[in-house]
Structure 1
Amino acid sequence: MASTVKQSRRPGWLTRPVVLVVLTAFTLLVLAPFLVVALNAFKTPAEYASNGPLSLPGGLHLQGIVDFWYRVDFGEKLWNSFLISASVAVLAIVISVLNAYAIGIGRLRGRLAFLMFFLLANLLPQEALVYPLYYLSKLVGLYNTRLAVIIILTAIQAAFGTYLLSSVFRDFPRQLLEAAALDGAGKWRVLWRVVVPTNWPTLSVLFTFFFIWTWNEFFLPLIFLISNDNQTVPVALGVLQGDRMMDATTTSASALLGIVPAVLFFLIFQRTLTRGVMAGAVK
């Protein structure tokens, strides 16, 4: 009997360490490029030239970071990226909620056609949108403004948010809606007092993804933000590195500064993401 128990437990005891080792190896593989960038960001050009990219720095040399910060006015680029990303995330959530409420809960006539439209909007490549959006922004006087990028990216993100939330709202419990209606709540009050609080974990996850996706956006800001005062962090990194005027340590410093804000935002909202995913799994 004891031998049978030991044999039944043995596969579990062997599997857990193997899985742990494999996951640790994959984690180190993913983090390796970031570690190399961080190492080279704190080196001097002489250390990089003599010891190579994989050597440890002799000390925390911050000159590369300081040079890059002042060369591109990185504080201004951070503010531009934060303003655009936060505005797009908030506006896209609001528009997605309103659209999905009409399609999923309001049972809008022709909702299948609307969902197909939003799905098609998500499938269109950005390259196909640049030409008409460029001339349209020129026509209304919004070219080379942050507002133009906010409007365009809000429409793109809201299309995805509408498609996702419509399926979520479609399965919303009708008992809650009927109870709110019996209490005298109108459609607007039902939306903001019942539907939104109930689906807050899902909305929090969408907000986090919208913010990170917009922060990492490169192509559209590159086209619509040609002024140095309006550029975002990814555009500033791409333009300066394209000039080939930086050494390897300054390039690593620029990459490190570009990665850190997105990583910090993800770590801050990691618990929100976990709660949202778990809430979706429970549903």
Structure 2
Amino acid sequence: MSAPTLTSRQRARCRPDPVRWVVLIGLAVLAVITLVPFGLVALNAVKSPADYSQGGPLQPPNSLYLQGIIDFWVRVDFGEKLWNSTVIAGSVAVFAVLVSVVAAYALGIGRVRGRMWIIAIFLLANLMPQEALIYPLYYMAKEVDLYDTRLAVIIIFTAVQAAFGTYLLSAVLSRFPTEILDAARIDGAGKWHTLWRVVVPMSWPTLSVLLVFFFIWTWNEFFIPLVMLVSNENQTVPVALGVLQGQRLMDATTQSASALLGIVPAVVFFLLFQRTLTRGIAAGAVK
């Protein structure tokens, strides 16, 4: 009995693709280049000042030195700053997604009058720099007695992030299958029931991507929290890092420890939701 022969298409699939290997090698090189700064920060964060002065930033430490991380944690009360950033970023992510869904449902599916002008306004809001917004935001927060509170920052960034979310989701929901909406309407579902029982579950991959991005973007915000949160007990992690480093009270190893503690929570959050983010992007690409 003769062995089965491969067709030309099967042989082409078995043959190694040089373009694929070039792309993989290029991505690996870019990944290494991206990880090198994080590696240097982690290396110097566990290095004593004596090791740093003798061997510089590239030499491995003679022993594991954690006192710099402990000193920085105690000096800035990092646990409190971590809680503030988590509350603000988490609240903004949830509220901004909710506002974006409701507004985009009205614009993308409800087809309100002047839809294009409203979307253009949301786009313009995303293009405005924060420096142009800070004075009116500061004045309004003072007027309503919300200055130097986490609630003020949550409201501000909820509006900012929801502007982008509304602009994005309105384009997505404008192509929502009308057959599904008609079927829900025939079954007697109202607008709110259709939104939360039909539209939101089917759009969850896109919403999960927005949720992750809103959290990370808000976590890394510096300028508006710097102006709006002046009390030490209300400051976020980026503000605490910037203020303390601006005072020049830390050596190189403690600065590395502060940078490491500042980026680890965002990296952990991204790794925890990496599968959700990947699925959301893949689902959007398939659509």
State the TM-score, normalizing by the size of structure 2. 0.94
Name the aligned partner's letter for residue 232 of structure 1.
T
Kindly report which structure 2 residues correspond to 1:220-239, keeping only aligned pairs within 5 A, or say none: 220-239=224-243
Residue 12 of structure 1: how far off its partner (Å): 4.3
Choose which of 39, 48, 70 in structure 2 pairs with 1:44.
48
Secondary structure of the residue that 2:232 maps to in structure 1? coil
Q: How many residues align?
A: 280
Residue 205 of structure 1: how far off its partner (Å): 0.3
Instruction: Write the distance in 2 (CA, Å) between the matches of 1:13 and 1:281.
Output: 24
For each residue in 1:90-135, what CA deviation from the matched residue of structure 2 results, as whole angstroms up to 9, or x when unmatched?
Answer: 1100100010011110010111110011011001000000011111
Name the aligned partner's letter for residue 97 of structure 2.
I
Residue 10 of structure 1: how far off its partner (Å): 11
Instruction: Write the distance in 1 (CA, Å) between the matches of 2:81 and 2:61.
Output: 28
Overall identity of the aligned pairs, in %: 67
Kindly report which structure 2 residues correspond to 1:202-281, keeping only aligned pairs within 5 A, or say none: 202-281=206-285
State the TM-score, normalizing by the size of structure 1. 0.95
Are 1:197 and 2:201 counterparts? yes
Are 1:112 and 2:130 counterparts? no
Residue 18 of structure 1: how far off its partner (Å): 3.2
Instruction: Write the distance in 2 (CA, Å) between the matches of 1:231 and 1:270.
Output: 28
Name the aligned partner's letter for residue 136 of structure 2.
P
For each residue in 1:176-210, what CA deviation from the matched residue of structure 2 results, as whole angstroms up to 9, or x when unmatched?
Answer: 11111111111010000000000000000000000
Alignment match, 1:68: 72
Instruction: Write the distance in 2 (CA, Å) between the matches of 1:15 and 1:163.
Output: 37
Instruction: Write the distance in 1 (CA, Å) between the matches of 2:48 and 2:144.
Output: 48
Name the aligned partner's letter for residue 115 of structure 2.
R
Instruction: Write the distance in 2 (CA, Å) between the matches of 1:163 and 1:16.
Output: 35
Instruction: Write the distance in 1 (CA, Å) between the matches of 2:246 and 2:16.
Output: 52
Name the aligned partner's letter for residue 130 of structure 1.
I
Residue 21 of structure 1: how far off its partner (Å): 2.7
Kindly report which structure 2 residues correspond to 1:18-33, keeping only aligned pairs within 5 A, or say none: 18-33=22-37
Name the aligned partner's letter for residue 137 of structure 1.
A
Q: Which structure 2 residue ranges, 5 or more long, are not aligned?
A: 1-7
Choose which of 93, 113, 129 in structure 2 pairs with 1:89.
93
Secondary structure of the residue that 1:229 maps to in structure 2? helix
Residue 281 of structure 1: how far off its partner (Å): 1.0
Residue 24 of structure 1: how far off its partner (Å): 1.8
Distance change (3 Å), C-alpha of 1:83 and 1:9: closer
Name the aligned partner's letter for residue 229 of structure 2.
L
Name the aligned partner's letter for residue 178 of structure 1.
D
Q: Which structure 1 residue ranges, 5 or more long, are not aligned?
A: none
Are 1:126 and 2:125 counterparts? no
Aligned CA RMSD, in angstroms, stands at 1.7
Distance change (3 Å), C-alpha of 1:226 and 1:186: same
Residue 264 of structure 1: how far off its partner (Å): 0.4
Secondary structure of the residue that 2:85 maps to in structure 1? helix
Secondary structure of the residue that 1:56 maps to in structure 2? coil
